[in-house]
Amino acid sequence: MSKLTGAEIVIQCLREQGVDTVFGYPGGAILNIYDALYQHQDEITHILTSHEQGASHAADGYARATGKVGVCLATSGPGATNLVTGIATAYMDSVPVVAITCNVTNSLLGKDSFQEIDITGVTMPITKYNFIVKDVNKLAKVIRRAFTIAQTGRPGPVLVDITKDVTGATCDYEYQAPEEIVRQSDTITEEAMDRAVEMIRKAQKPFIFVGGGAVIANASDELRAFAHKIQAPVADSLMGKGAFDGTDELYTGMVGMHGTKTSNFGITEADLLIVVGARFSDRVTGNASKFAKNAKILQLDVDPAEINKNIRVDASIIGDVKVILRKLNARLDPVNHDEWIAHIERMKDMYPLRYDKRLLTGPYIVQAIDEVTDEDTIIVTEVGQHQMWAAQYYNYRKPRTLLTSGGLGTMGYGLGAAIGAKMGCKDRTVINIAGDGCFRMNMNEIATAVRYNIPVVEVIVNNHVLGMVRQWQTLFYGKRYSQTVLNDAVDFVKLAEAMGAKAYRVTQKDDFIPVLKEAISLNIPVLIDCQVSCDDKVFPMVSPGAPIADAFDDTDLKIN
């Protein structure tokens, strides 16, 4: 046992948890921690981002790519509030992040002191739990609890706010091994298992819908075995990408607003929908009252709050989905649904994804990235049309290979997240696919990548508009393009070069693959500005509030 300052205890607790990288930005209230971090810079790498929001997204990307807890640091006041969007992003997508902020001293709390903010009050609705530490003797216990809470059950972000005087005070510290994180299985009842097995055995048209929970639970092997054992087609949500191999014969593509017609029509026709770690987002269900209207619904989820929250289900099993699938696989005999699978295959042939293959387009860019990269490549996206094309046209074969803001839809997420992912997976290619509107949000993180020579490739699908918003304006607002045109004089290539990165501009389809291959081979931060048409659309599409069975594409619009 040794006597340490609060700041030193923070660092030692991070070391206990196996933290090797943190992302942050210093300031007055957190100076003691940064001074302690200086003494341990050989053990914990600190990445100084250009903005605290970039730090929160980097911690998020690190966590999603590695499965470990991501850590970000910020000072009081605006430093702490700049983390809020990143914390909310992690909360919506169940990402284990620990955000450590520092506040003014105990004596100055509640007095509107310089750079004081009640960050625990601000973040209460968007954290799994949060703490304010006013006593150095409680500090180590709180940090350890934060890491445990972030990882247990359904993961999520936890914030620890520490007053500055606590970081300077001293107390006894003794090393403590991290608490073992156990998969939740005590809630899996025999009654629920029996009911599920009975439903699966009776089904003639089963369909599996996979969400992000299957990725978080590392349940890919069990999911693959389950799908083939019951011979059921598999669709995924945006967050579920990679949990089931996108090249598998049973895979039908994404479901929902921009899902494939095969997935949307198939789920509508199914007599049993098995939902694995998904929360029935409105972007998935469309008109909830008509979602899977012909099916009994069996939901598998670790979070009981998700059962019957958005969609009424006929049965559920609460627990870790990896454990649940393993138990189901042990109880089930192989089932034959050849006729149903043949029907799904015919739909795949009837309703393929289509785009103009003559031009440089968003779909082509994504398909080309898929062609050039291997299955271990990590694709990160911002939010908008390019995000949907990345979901539609890239074949994700492994979990944790698509990092994207699904729940909050955070423009500006991708570049910071790509930096975090690369720091966590240094031997893997990391590519961020961005729109020009999103790139403007946090493009200053190019400077971060250059400062540390973090070799991420930034591919901008540049249509000079806010593409997804403009698509809605085209289809639903009489082509009144209010504040969605970005056709100004900003030169992304010069911006990237000014920040020290290598940059290319691509205007012709045939030039993209050679440039991409060179960008990856350089192993430095690279930006590729791809000039595409502002009129390209994401299809298929389901109108807001319509049932997913009403999915339409450009051919339907021409007919009608």
Element (H, E) at 172: strand 170-173
With 0-12 CB in 10 A as exposed, 13-18 as middle and 19+ as buried, what is 345? middle
Match 């009640």 to its residue by tokens.
118
The DSSP symbol for 114 reads: T
Annotation marks residue 164 as catalytic:
yes
Q: Angle at the Cα of 86 (from 217 to 57), degrees rounded to 5?
A: 75
CA pair distance 65, 417, nearest whole angstrom: 9
Annotation marks residue 52 as catalytic:
yes
| Active-site pick, 92, 423, 441, 468 | 468
Annotation marks residue 443 as catalytic:
no
| Active-site pick, 115, 229, 309, 345 | 115
Q: Of the candidates 408, 361, 346, which has an alpha carbon nearest to the alpha carbon of residue 382?
A: 408
Q: What is the largest CA-CA distance in the chain?
A: 77
| Active-site pick, 12, 23, 52, 265 | 52
Annotation marks residue 508 as catalytic:
no
The DSSP symbol for 536 reads: -
Q: Of the candidates 108, 130, 137, which has an alpha carbon nearest to the alpha carbon of residue 5?
A: 137
CA pair distance 349, 21, nearest whole angstrom: 47
Q: Of the candidates 41, 44, 99, 47, which has an alpha carbon nearest to the alpha carbon of residue 74?
A: 99
Q: Angle at the Cα of 451 (from 450 to 456), degrees rounded to 5?
A: 35
| Active-site pick, 114, 141, 371, 426 | 114
Annotation marks residue 180 as catalytic:
no
Peptide bond into 363 cis (omega under 30): no
Match 């490739």 to its residue by tokens.
457
| Active-site pick, 68, 128, 164, 241 | 164
Q: Which amino acid is at 324?
A: I
Match 């920040």 to its residue by tokens.
499
CA pair distance 495, 490, nearest whole angstrom: 8
Q: How crowded is residue 509: how many other Cβ atoms within 10 Å of its Cβ? A: 17
Catalytic residue ranges: 52, 114-115, 164, 468
